[in-house]
């Protein structure tokens, strides 16, 4: 598979379809609607890191914030009182002091969607959002009072639309030259997370996305001037970061990339969330890209996701198995179960059980010698063989208590790798909410060398933190099922 050409051609062909263009006219943002080619770009990949959210902020993001010269843009989904917030506050105070010492002001923009159930229930439905008065920074958000941040031009805004339209992206832009793309929020959860440091042309896409959706009119017109060359980030904290499990400097430049936004949808063709196969998902760049990758995969699909309740994803993975593609899934068995039931009417475990049964049925057909039937050929089986399916649930490392500092208790990483050549990383889960209602943001990176580095670092971080619950392999031995 020619990864970059396939991805580009498939994505652009669908995004340029007149019917889809009309469908996306009301999306916000939708600035790429008349020029889908603008989403194709390149990226420099600096470092990757895996660990808890606090560990990632402490080791990678906060040092960069303190080194900022002119502007910091923080976009996150969930904002909560936490150790991460305490350390972010310290970074903001130091950034303010640095600005005052230099006789200048540094712009800081904080954007989030959710902080509590009460906040969401009372939130304005307007996409202009709610901007917090400085007098409420401390009491409502846990930020330092304005007198402690006099060197900063700080604005804090939230956007949320009932019932389910959460703004789910997470990214941090430093001086419009450097981007951190973490899976974690500014919150207290001790979950397994990932973060990628990016620079180069891809940075302009993050800035544009922020300007079109979050920025005020004044911010949209604002440009940065007289920024000296960015100092090289060493990605090391001032002290060892609790919860940092693995990190590596990659240093790959001009990687072919596709910027993949996914606008929120309040209730697109919504019927009943517990129907097995609801209406097709909104044709957003992220959704289209992932479905195209699943449909065109030739050898392998790897997915690590917090939840797995999206019917289009389940159908696509089942189809890939029937084509002979090997599928490897890592997910969490019991993460946000109530939220899954409310937004999808099902749970990850039920959906995993369904996919396992589909694969086990294919394996039984093989063992019975019936895989050459017309039905199998119609299903797409190649030489009568199904692809391998392996499913793992995240488990805290054996011997580590749930309260152990820095030990993640659930997996919150969102990463898809296809044919060991294309990686998609960002905020999107493989659940119904991410595919139908939430605003999401991802990046597809096309490089076998980069994928190899990601897989190696991820394997190191995940060591001893998963349990194989299904291992169905194409061999003479039986399908191995460790748990159901």
- Please state, in angstroms and rounded to a whole number, the distance separating the CA atoms of residues 89 and 110: 12
Residues 218 and 358 in one domain: no
Q: Do 280 and 183 have their domain in common?
A: no
**pLDDT of 228 higher than 90:** no
pLDDT tens-digit profile of 449-466?
999 999 999 999 999 999
Same domain, 226 and 302: no
Query: Which of 217, 250, 283 delimits the end of a domain?
Result: 250
Average pLDDT, the chain: 87
Please indicate, yes or no, if residue 111 is contained in any of the structural domains.
yes
482: pLDDT strictly greater than 60? no
pLDDT of the residue at 2: 55
CATH of the domain at 189: 3.30.870.10
The reported pLDDT for the residue numbered 270 is 44
- Beta bridge partner(s), residue 107: 71, 153
Q: Which residues lie closer than 8 Å to 51 by C-beta, 6 or more apart? A: 59, 192, 193, 241, 243, 244, 245, 246, 247, 406, 408, 461
Q: How does pLDDT run across 132-172, given as a tens digit for each residue?
A: 999 999 999 999 999 999 999 999 999 999 888 899 999 99
Identify whether 255 is part of a domain. Answer: no
pLDDT of residue 232 exceeding 60: no
DSSP-derived secondary structure letter, 58:
I
Q: Are residues 187 and 291 in the same domain?
A: no
- Residue 280 gets which letter from DSSP? P
Q: Are residues 237 and 284 in the same domain?
A: no
Distance CA 65, CA 25 (A): 36
Last residue of a domain, one of 215, 250, 285: 250
Same domain, 130 and 148: yes
Does residue 114 contact residue 77 with C-beta atoms inside 8 Å?
Answer: yes
Query: Is 39 contained in some domain?
Result: no
Instruction: Give me the number of domains the chain comprises.
Output: 2
Residue range 317-366, pLDDT digits in tens: 999 999 999 999 999 998 887 777 777 778 999 999 999 999 998 888 77
- Digit-coded pLDDT (tens) for 294-327: 999 999 999 999 999 999 999 999 999 999 999 9
**Is-contact 480 472, C-beta < 8 A?**
yes
Q: What is the pTM of this model?
A: 0.90
Q: Give pLDDT, residue 218.
A: 79
In tens, the pLDDT along 194-210 reads 999 999 999 999 999 99
Six-digit token string for 96:
């303010």
**Distant-in-sequence, close-in-space partners of 382: CB < 8 Å, separation ≥ 6:** 323, 324
Looking at the fold, whether 162 and 309 belong to one and the same domain comes out as: no
pLDDT for 400: 56
Q: Are residues 316 and 371 in the same domain?
A: yes
Residue 478 lies inside a defined structural domain of this protein: no
Is there a single domain that holds both residue 171 and residue 212?
yes
Q: Which residues contact 135 (CB under 8 A, 6 or more apart)?
A: 146
In a domain, 221, yes or no: yes
Which string of DSSP letters, residue by residue, matches 239-253?
Answer: SPPTTEEEEEEEEEE
Q: Are residues 402 and 330 in the same domain?
A: yes
- Please say if the pLDDT value at position 278 is more than 60: no
Q: Is the pLDDT of residue 376 over 80?
A: no
Tens-place pLDDT, residues 410-455: 999 999 999 999 999 999 999 999 999 999 999 999 999 999 999 9
Domain end position, chosen among 250, 276, 307:
250
Pair (107, 197) in one structural domain: yes
Does residue 16 belong to any structural domain of this protein? Answer: no
211 and 286 belong to one structural domain:
no
In a domain, 90, yes or no: yes
Does residue 22 carry a pLDDT above 60? Answer: yes
Residue 230's pLDDT band (cuts 50, 70, 90): very low
* Residue 244 domain flag: yes
Write the pLDDT tens digit of every residue in 75-98. 999 999 999 999 999 999 999 999
Percent of the chain at pLDDT exceeding 90: 68
Task: Find the domain containing 195 and state its range.
Answer: 44-250
């Amino acid at each position: 598979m020619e990864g970059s050409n396939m991805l580009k051609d498939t994505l652009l062909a669908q995004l340029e379809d007149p019917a889809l263009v009309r469908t996306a006219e009301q999306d916000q943002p939708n600035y790429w609607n008349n020029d889908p080619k603008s989403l194709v770009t390149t990226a420099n990949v600096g470092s990757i890191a895996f660990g808890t959210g606090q560990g990632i902020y402490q080791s990678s993001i906060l040092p960069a914030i303190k080194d900022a010269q002119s502007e910091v843009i923080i976009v996150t989904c969930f904002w909560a009182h936490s150790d991460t917030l305490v350390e972010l506050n310290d970074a903001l105070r130091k950034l303010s002091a640095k600005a005052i010492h230099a006789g200048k002001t540094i712009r800081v923009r904080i954007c989030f969607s959710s902080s509590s159930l009460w906040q969401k229930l009372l939130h304005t439905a307007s996409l202009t959002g709610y901007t917090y008065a400085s007098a409420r920074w401390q009491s409502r958000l846990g930020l330092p009072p304005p007198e402690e941040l006099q060197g900063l031009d700080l604005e804090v805004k939230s956007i949320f639309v009932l019932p389910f339209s959460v703004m789910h992206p997470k990214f941090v832009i430093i001086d419009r030259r450097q981007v951190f793309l973490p899976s974690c929020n500014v919150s207290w959860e001790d979950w397994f997370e990932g973060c990628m440091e990016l620079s180069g042309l891809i940075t302009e896409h993050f800035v544009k996305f922020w300007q079109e959706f979050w920025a005020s009119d004044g911010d949209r017109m604002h440009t940065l001037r007289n920024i000296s060359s960015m100092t090289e980030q060493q990605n090391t904290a001032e002290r060892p970061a609790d919860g940092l499990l693995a990190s590596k400097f990659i240093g790959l430049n001009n990687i072919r990339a596709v910027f993949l936004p996914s606008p929120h949808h309040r209730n697109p063709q919504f019927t009943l969330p517990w129907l097995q196969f609801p209406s097709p998902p909104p044709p957003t760049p992220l959704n289209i890209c992932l479905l195209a990758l699943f449909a065109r995969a030739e050898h392998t699909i790897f997915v690590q996701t917090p939840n797995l309740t999206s019917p289009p994803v389940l159908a696509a993975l089942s189809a890939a198995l029937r084509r002979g593609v090997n599928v490897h899934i890592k997910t969490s068995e019991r993460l946000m179960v109530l939220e899954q039931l409310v937004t999808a009417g099902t749970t990850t475990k039920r959906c995993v059980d369904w996919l396992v049964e589909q694969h086990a049925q294919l394996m039984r057909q093989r063992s019975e010698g019936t895989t050459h039937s017309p039905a199998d050929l119609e299903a797409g089986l190649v030489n009568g063989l199904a692809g391998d399916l392996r499913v793992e649930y995240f488990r805290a490392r054996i011997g580590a208590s749930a309260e152990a500092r820095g030990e993640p208790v659930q997996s919150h990483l969102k990463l898809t790798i296809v044919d060991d050549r294309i990686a998609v990383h960002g905020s999107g889960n493989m659940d119904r909410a991410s595919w139908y209602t939430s605003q999401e943001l991802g990046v597809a990176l096309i490089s076998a060398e980069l994928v190899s580095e990601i897989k190696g670092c991820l394997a190191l971080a995940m060591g001893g933190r998963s349990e194989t619950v299904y291992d169905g392999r194409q061999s003479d031995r039986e399908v191995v099922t460790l748990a159901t």
